[in-house]
Structure 1
Amino acid sequence: MLSGLTSRILLTLSLATPLCTTADITTGEPEELRDLHYGDALFQLYQQNYFPAIVRLLAARKQGLMQAYADEPELLLGGLYLAYGMPNTAEGLFNRILQNSKSPEVLNRAWLQLGKSRHRRGNMKAAKSALNQIDENLKPEANDEKHHLSGLIGLLQKNESDALADLNKISQQSEWTLYGRYNQAIAYLRNDQPEKVLALLQEIGSGIDENDDNEAKSIRDRANLALGYLFLELQQPANAQQALQRVRLKSPASSQALLGLGWASLQLDQQEQALPPWQLLAERNASDPAVLEAKLAIPYVLSQLAAEQQSLQGYRDAIATYDASLTQLDQLLSQVRDDTFPDNLLVDNDTGIDSPKRSLLSYLLSGNAFQERLQDYRDLGHMEKNLQQWREKISSYRTMLSNQLVAYNQKLPRVDEHLKGENLNQVVDRKEQLKRLYEQVATTEEPPFALANQQEKAWIERINKIKRIIKQHDTGGRLAPQREMARLMEGILTWRIATEHPARVWSLKKQMIELEQNIETAHQKESELAKARAEAEGRFDAFSSRIEQLEKALPGLHRQVKALRQDETELLREMALERLEQRRSLINNYLVQARFGVANLLDISSARAGEEK
């Protein structure tokens, strides 16, 4: 019953390898935002809205924005392309960065991203070549990621010595340490060095840290699971129990751990102790292969303990479970073959799908390969919906453009009137008047009344009128007091104007400067307005042409995306059918064994009855 443990160990260990294949689209430590458009793209990125983030980056790049960040937006865009499953496009972008950038840091990051892109496409030789271009100036965390990726490439190329050399370079303080140590265990296992494998897995599995995140806890669980099965392979069941008992009950690896605990007890000839973990496992959902195996193992042990009635009942329960699983499997297969697949499986319908069938569906949807294809299908669905919305909205853009053109034609006469410059000419004349006045008063020692304000000018006129009246009617000096009063008033007014003369000259100069600035600004705005006036019709024609091009291109793009989505549907269907047929084969195998167990027990019972008779 312990055959196949080695393959189970390798399968368990290999679960760590995909962890580095996801695209790196982080932007490093937060820093001061220097461009609003880049910040908008980052906002969408941190909301995990990758498609809107790509759209905003492309739109800003088209308009020549985000200059403050050099090649940073391009690196971010490449990472988004990788995350969106577009390695070819991402690689082309990284190659352009490598050709144009002169920053060592940017070049290193581009080479790293290029290596990840090629690794994702399965081109290991080219990925390794890209990683070899990176110098030692890479930041520590990125450098650890580089060594981890290089180690994985070595494992995929079955070059364990190179893989170990790279994995050993990962810093002990890095977040890649656990993954690196885990993958070292794979290399040592392939090199048939069980002592080093045991030491590494023991170090990972027993090194529980309160600061571990969920990924670290999951890695430790899988390390303990692999360690337990390796001890079973080495016929060390007591050590296997210690390792398997460290696996968390809520961990995805707990079912296999409970199954292994039972086999460890059997190796210790403790048949009764094998039952509790298997009975606990058997209560779980039958979509888990470990549960199906436990359903068969329990009556097998009971038969060894001579509990024939309980064993018979256990086999019958197992047969009922397998029959129910096959029925659910047939229903799921029918849904997979249906024309509405895979949308019919993705609808959240708790009332229409019972719990066992939903669990079986979870089994179908699990697995990296299927999940990646399913994500591609969803992304294409999002694009198809987006294109459909654009097909519906594009006519409204044409209407908006027509309205803008009508509004422009209505405002055009006022623009042309403004471009004649009559108002500006008046301002220029005013400036010339002030200039002449300034030249007149700035060089005069005796301040003239030219800078007098309106009230002072009225007073001057009134005093002059009084002086004329006195002169006309003064006979014999009778109006001498009035003449003296007028002279005194004129002196006070003259003294006031003379006192304020420097300030008034400065104020006049300030007015001239402000007018010159206003005139310069007006000339600039007139130039811009004239340029906009000249370009307006061409801009309207360009918008109209672009809308027309989009109207023609959108149907073709829509059909192309629909065709690609249909291709993804067929690939998903093939993968689902293959996966479900594998499950059917497994269940049928267990079903045959269970029926054989029932037949064997019935034969034993019949033979005993014949002897008694």
Structure 2
Amino acid sequence: MLRPLLILLCLLMATQAPAAERSGGGGPAASSPTDVYFGEALYHAYQGEWFEAVVRLDTELGQHRRLDEPVLDPLYPYVGQAEFNVGDFELGYRMHLRAGRSIKAVIDGKVDEPQRNAAIYRLARLYFRKDQPQEALKALERISGKLPGTLSVDVEFLRAQLLMALGRFEEASVVLKEIRDEKGVEGFAGYNLGVSLMQQGKVQDGRAYLERTGQMPGTAAEITAIRDKANLVLGYRLLDDNAADQAKLALDRVRLSGPFSNRALLGSGWADANQGSFERALVPWSILAGREVTDPAVQEAMLALPFAYGKLKAYGKAALLYGSALESFGKEIEKLSGSIASVKEGRLLKALEQEELKQDAEWVVKLRNLPKAPETYYLMDLMASHDFQEALKNYLDLRDLAQKLATWEGDLNAFEEMIGLRRAYYEPLLPGVDASFKELDSQIRLRSEQRDRIGKRLHAMLTSPRPEHLATAEERLAKEELARLEKSITAGAPGEEEIARRIARLKGVIAWNIATGYHQRLTDTFDDLDRLNEEMRRMKEEYDSFVRTRQAATQSYQGYDEAIRARRAEIAAAREKVAALMPRQGKVLEAMAVDELSKRRTRLEGFQVTARFAIADSYDRANKAQAQKKVGE
């Protein structure tokens, strides 16, 4: 019952295409596909299950290409869309090489202009993701004519991103100015325009656009995020230009609960400190110092806060805070050392493989809260690295693929068992069925010969009447009996003439009846021929039904052995390859984690040295201040 409901749901969902994401490509799209397997692939794609979507749609397309009459396939009206989607799904699953080939096939095939342009856009995004901006820009130059929906804005925004990646900031600025007020990209375009202008040395113009982006209205998640980022970049750029008062205004606009809040609080404190307002700097630094100690900005604030107290000549308070920071750094260094040792022992990979965590959208954050799991404590920060994310995704995909391959191998065993049961059921029945079929075949042959012979005679009689051919069986028997009696008359016997006269009369009656009823008899015979044809059609339907049934029965267990052996060999080869790749990918993941954690530890060790010197200096200053106070008294 569940499968029909899922198929119905995916067909309903397919009637509405999701909006294209600004960060890279759109989702699957199709208009009410009647092919249920295409609909099922779309259903999986809408759930983000790219592997299942690729497998189902790729299989459906492969079967469609092998059909003798593809126009009869329910997929036929949607083949172009399916070819486009399979490349899109492969792109979602990070199969960039195959996705590129699929999308190129759509571009070079016979498709509508909007669909072709959409495919070129996807191909350009693919090149952009693969860090090939020059190839991506060449692809965009192939776009001409109509674009589906609002894709024209996305194309221009991508063009601007590519130009910036190539260092052609002046050209990028021209494109971004044209689309900076377009709905959906206004914030992103404004931010990139500000950065682009600054890269050209047009600092004031760049600041103006960042300022405008940093104050744009809206409560959507993407708007608030780009607004915070613009204010953060603007604030730190102003700090570098010694414009601390303006930097303070920009940094204070960043939300306290956003992803950029820690860096903004740190910068806001330094903006106050650069103006000599150390009391004001205490406010953002105090807030920041109380947050999660694993964040680099928080760790820096733990040193900045006592630095401000020192500037305010509260040396005792500064010494205590430096001591607290030193203690926290020591604990974090111990945690990092434990994390490094734990990662090297392989516990990180085991923690990442916990299925129950994957059921929650925030499973990465929750990893750090696992008891006695130091290998995951800094994972959330590591996940900010694109390379680490890709390595992690590849490892988890390999793990999932290993599980799927094992499941498929078990499915093949089930298929073989099912085929064996079918063979054991059908083969004993076939001899009796074949005997009945031979009898039916003989009847069809006999009736066919009779029909052809009668039909040939009847059509000949339409132009050359032959009444004697329409005599009934009783009339033929009577004529034969009269002929026999006529031969048996003995010449010169008494009553010979009377008997001959009567025989002639009876023969005349029979001939009269045949001649006068010829037309009716001819009509009745054609009706009988129609009934015979109808009987022949019934027998032919029974014959065809038998052939189909027998073929279906035999094909349900014959011809699968070779295919199963081939699939089993492919699965075995794939499992062997996955088994070799998983440890290697796991080592890459562990090496990246160890390298990142080692850098964090080295940084904290440097902070420890700074804190020790600062403690000593604070105590010296406190003692001097105390001595001067006593001297003054």
Does the pair score TM above 0.5?
Answer: yes
Q: How far off is 1:139 after superposition?
A: 2.4
Distance in 1, Cα, partners of 2:143 & 2:540: 54
Amino acid at match of 1:586: R
Distance in 1, Cα, partners of 2:136 & 2:128: 5
**2:417 maps to 1:407:** no
Q: 1:160 to 1:339 in 2, by over 3 A?
A: same
Distance in 1, Cα, partners of 2:191 & 2:251: 17
Q: Larger deviation: 303-312 or 106-115? A: 106-115
- 1:55-74 aligned at under 5 Å gives the runs 55-64=55-64, 65=73, 66-74=75-83
Q: Larger deviation: 413-422 or 72-81? A: 413-422
Distance in 2, Cα, partners of 1:259 & 1:608: 29
Q: 1:194 to 1:310 in 2, by over 3 A?
A: same
Amino acid at match of 2:50: Y
Distance in 2, Cα, partners of 1:247 & 1:136: 42
Q: How far off is 1:425 after superposition?
A: 5.3
Q: For residues 353-385 of structure 1, what are the alpha-carbon distances to aligned partners after superposition, in whole Å with 9 as ceiling and x for unaligned? A: 379985522112222221122111111111111
Paired position in structure 2 for 1:370: 388
Paired position in structure 1 for 2:295: 288
Amino acid at match of 1:27: A
Out of 144, 153, 156, the residue aligned to residue 144 of structure 1 is 153
Distance in 1, Cα, partners of 2:23 & 2:214: 24
Out of 304, 308, 315, the residue aligned to residue 311 of structure 2 is 304
Q: How far off is 1:117 after superposition?
A: 1.7
Q: 1:224 to 1:82 in 2, by over 3 A?
A: same
Distance in 2, Cα, partners of 1:25 & 1:105: 16
Contact 1:78 1:93 in 2 (8 A): yes
Percent pairwise identity: 24
Paired position in structure 2 for 1:276: 283
Amino acid at match of 1:570: K
Paired position in structure 2 for 1:259: 266
Secondary structure of 1:410's aligned partner: coil
- 1:6-21 aligned at under 5 Å gives the runs none
- 1:326-365 aligned at under 5 Å gives the runs 326-345=333-352, 347=354, 348=357, 352-353=370-371, 360-365=378-383
Distance in 2, Cα, partners of 1:75 & 1:520: 46
Q: For residues 112-138 of structure 1, what are the alpha-carbon distances to aligned partners after superposition, in whole Å with 9 as ceiling and x for unaligned? A: 121122222222222211111111311
Q: Larger deviation: 234-243 or 555-564? A: 234-243
Amino acid at match of 1:202: E
Paired position in structure 2 for 1:84: 93
Paired position in structure 2 for 1:241: 248
**Which TM-score applies when normalising by structure 1?**
0.77
Contact 2:187 2:216 in 1 (8 A): no
Distance in 2, Cα, partners of 1:553 & 1:426: 48
RMSD: 3.4
Distance in 1, Cα, partners of 2:23 & 2:222: 15
Q: For residues 164-203 of structure 1, what are the alpha-carbon distances to aligned partners after superposition, in whole Å with 9 as ceiling and x for unaligned? A: 2333343733323322222222212211221122111111
Paired position in structure 1 for 2:164: 155
Contact 2:368 2:378 in 1 (8 A): no
Contact 2:87 2:102 in 1 (8 A): yes
Contact 2:440 2:543 in 1 (8 A): no
Q: For residues 74-107 of structure 1, what are the alpha-carbon distances to aligned partners after superposition, in whole Å with 9 as ceiling and x for unaligned? A: 1111111111111111111122222322421222
Q: How far off is 1:525 after superposition?
A: 6.3
Unaligned runs of 5+ in 1: 1-18, 440-504
Q: Larger deviation: 289-298 or 57-66? A: 57-66
Instruction: Give aligned pairs, total.
Output: 519
Secondary structure of 2:428's aligned partner: helix
Paired position in structure 1 for 2:33: 33
Distance in 2, Cα, partners of 1:299 & 1:338: 38
Paired position in structure 1 for 2:567: 550
Out of 377, 402, 406, the residue aligned to residue 388 of structure 1 is 406
Distance in 1, Cα, partners of 2:178 & 2:426: 66
Out of 571, 591, 596, the residue aligned to residue 588 of structure 2 is 571
**2:19 maps to 1:52:** no
Out of 110, 128, 134, the residue aligned to residue 119 of structure 1 is 128
Amino acid at match of 2:122: Q
Q: 1:524 to 1:422 in 2, by over 3 A?
A: closer
Distance in 2, Cα, partners of 1:368 & 1:247: 24
Amino acid at match of 2:417: T
Contact 2:351 2:376 in 1 (8 A): no
Q: How far off is 1:536 after superposition?
A: 6.9
Amino acid at match of 1:51: F
Q: 1:140 to 1:531 in 2, by over 3 A?
A: closer
Distance in 1, Cα, partners of 2:447 & 2:571: 58
Q: How far off is 1:20 after superposition?
A: 5.5
Out of 578, 593, 597, the residue aligned to residue 610 of structure 2 is 593
Q: 1:105 to 1:314 in 2, by over 3 A?
A: same
Comparing both chains, which one has the higher relative contact order based on Cα–Cα distances under 8 Å and sequence gaps of 6 or more? 1
Distance in 2, Cα, partners of 1:421 & 1:138: 65
Distance in 2, Cα, partners of 1:527 & 1:598: 98
Out of 108, 124, 140, the residue aligned to residue 131 of structure 1 is 140
- 1:189-268 aligned at under 5 Å gives the runs 189-210=198-219, 212=220, 214-268=221-275
Contact 1:427 1:519 in 2 (8 A): no
Distance in 2, Cα, partners of 1:551 & 1:196: 64
Paired position in structure 2 for 1:454: none
Secondary structure of 2:570's aligned partner: helix
Q: 1:94 to 1:302 in 2, by over 3 A?
A: same
Q: 1:516 to 1:594 in 2, by over 3 A?
A: farther
Paired position in structure 1 for 2:115: 106
Q: Larger deviation: 61-70 or 127-136? A: 61-70
Distance in 2, Cα, partners of 1:197 & 1:89: 40
Q: For residues 314-356 of structure 1, what are the alpha-carbon distances to aligned partners after superposition, in whole Å with 9 as ceiling and x for unaligned? A: 1001101111111111111112212344233554577743799
Q: For residues 5-34 of structure 1, what are the alpha-carbon distances to aligned partners after superposition, in whole Å with 9 as ceiling and x for unaligned? A: xxxxxxxxxxxxxx8664533317xx3333
Q: Larger deviation: 419-428 or 173-182? A: 419-428
Amino acid at match of 2:570: A
Q: How far off is 1:584 after superposition?
A: 1.6
Q: 1:103 to 1:236 in 2, by over 3 A?
A: same
Unaligned runs of 5+ in 2: 1-20, 65-72, 358-366, 459-522
Paired position in structure 2 for 1:526: 543
Q: 1:359 to 1:144 in 2, by over 3 A?
A: farther
- 1:476-487 aligned at under 5 Å gives the runs none
Paired position in structure 2 for 1:4: none
